[in-house]
Amino acid sequence: MGLVNHTMVTHFILLGIPNTDGFQTVLFFTFLVFYLCALLGNLLIFSAVLADSRLHTPMYFFLCNLAVLDIGLSSISTPKLLATLWSQSRVISLGGCVSQVFFFHFLGSTESLLYTVMAYDRYVAICHPLRYLLIMNWRVCALLAAATWIASSFNATILTSLTFTLPYCSSNVVDYFLCDIFTLVKLACADTHVLETVTITNTGLVPITCFLLIFASYVRIVCSLLKMNSANAWRKAASTCASHLAVATLFFGPCFLVYTQPQLSKVLVTPVQIFGNVVAPVLNAAIYTLRNKEVKASLKKLICQIPAR
């Protein structure tokens, strides 16, 4: 059996978003506005929670984690996408490609788990209000948050390692706007069944499990509220759960649309990833500020203090 000469790939070429010729300038400024809004909005939320001692509660602790995640998710591919749209800078180094794959799966998995933890927090707050601070003490909150980040880092490390131990010898041109596993395996000149199986299992199993746990927590919340039969309890539950339900729907909804509609997957996968990386971080920040009086009050207080400094 003859030996095959594999050329070591040192960089990849990203072709960008398909079918956007002639719209590069419009897309550049659109994505730039969304990116800046995502950074500013989530930084303001993070700063407001840190600065206001009234917001030093488990719910806002997890909200700070979400703000950090959204800043990270919006920064994975958007800067490179902007460079591609503005200056046609399509080359990305091997290290940059590895980073995109790792952080895309690391932060995406962490966000799935964090929404689950936030749903549990809301369940405890509504169904066990008298024991809430005892159950959701700072030690428990820190352990839950740390577990989401650590578990996701292991998951992303496995997927990234499997991806970049493959030999890439046929081409280094990625027909997409970022490095992702399913676009890179097409370029590999080796058996990719193990990687594809592990990737589908992980990227499917984690969101489905998280979604089922979130669904179960809200079923318990609704059952508890039905037993109370109190309009005031329903209002308080709606005010504390509406924002979480909205952002969780924005996260899981598009993903399920892609996975449950195979005939539309090729059409939907690009807008879904653009939505998740560029648009969703802005919407998450807007939802948690526009619907939350405490956050809005803290933001106003924070902004008013800036000129005085």
Q: How many domains does the chain have?
A: 1
pLDDT single digits (tens) 123-170: 999 888 889 999 999 999 999 999 999 999 999 999 999 888 888 876
Residue 1 within a domain: no
| 107 in a structural domain | yes
Let me know if residue 82 belongs to a domain: yes
pLDDT above 90 coverage of the chain, percent: 38
Three-class SS state of 309: coil
DSSP letter, residue 186: G
- Asked if the model's pLDDT at residue 25 lies above 70, the reply is yes
Tokens of 274: 């653009």
User: How far apart (Å, rounded) are the C-alpha atoms in residues 227 and 206?
Assistant: 32
CATH number at residue 16: 1.20.1070.10
2 in any annotated domain? no
Residue 3 located in a structural domain: no
Domain that holds residue 273: 12-308
Supply the DSSP string of 13-80, one letter for each residue: EE--STT-TT-HHHHHHHHHHHHHHHHHHHHHHHHHHHH-GGG-SHHHHHHHHHHHHHHHHHHHHHHH
pLDDT in tens, 51-76: 888 888 999 999 999 999 999 999 99
pLDDT by residue (tens digit) across 225-263? 888 777 777 787 777 788 888 899 888 887 777 666 655
* DSSP structure class, residue 177: S
Give domain status of residue 4, yes or no.
no
Q: Look at 232 and 274; give whichever has higher pLDDT.
A: 274
Instruction: Give, as one character, the DSSP assignment of residue 136.
Output: T
Report pLDDT for 100: 94
In Å, the largest CA–CA distance within the chain is: 77
In a domain, 162, yes or no: yes
Q: What is residue 132's predicted lDDT score, i.e. its pLDDT? A: 92
Within-domain flag for 5 = no
Q: What is the pLDDT of residues 187-218, one digit of tens each?
A: 888 777 888 788 777 777 888 899 999 999 99
Instruction: State mean pLDDT over 283-306.
Output: 78
Q: What percent of the chain has pLDDT over 70?
A: 92
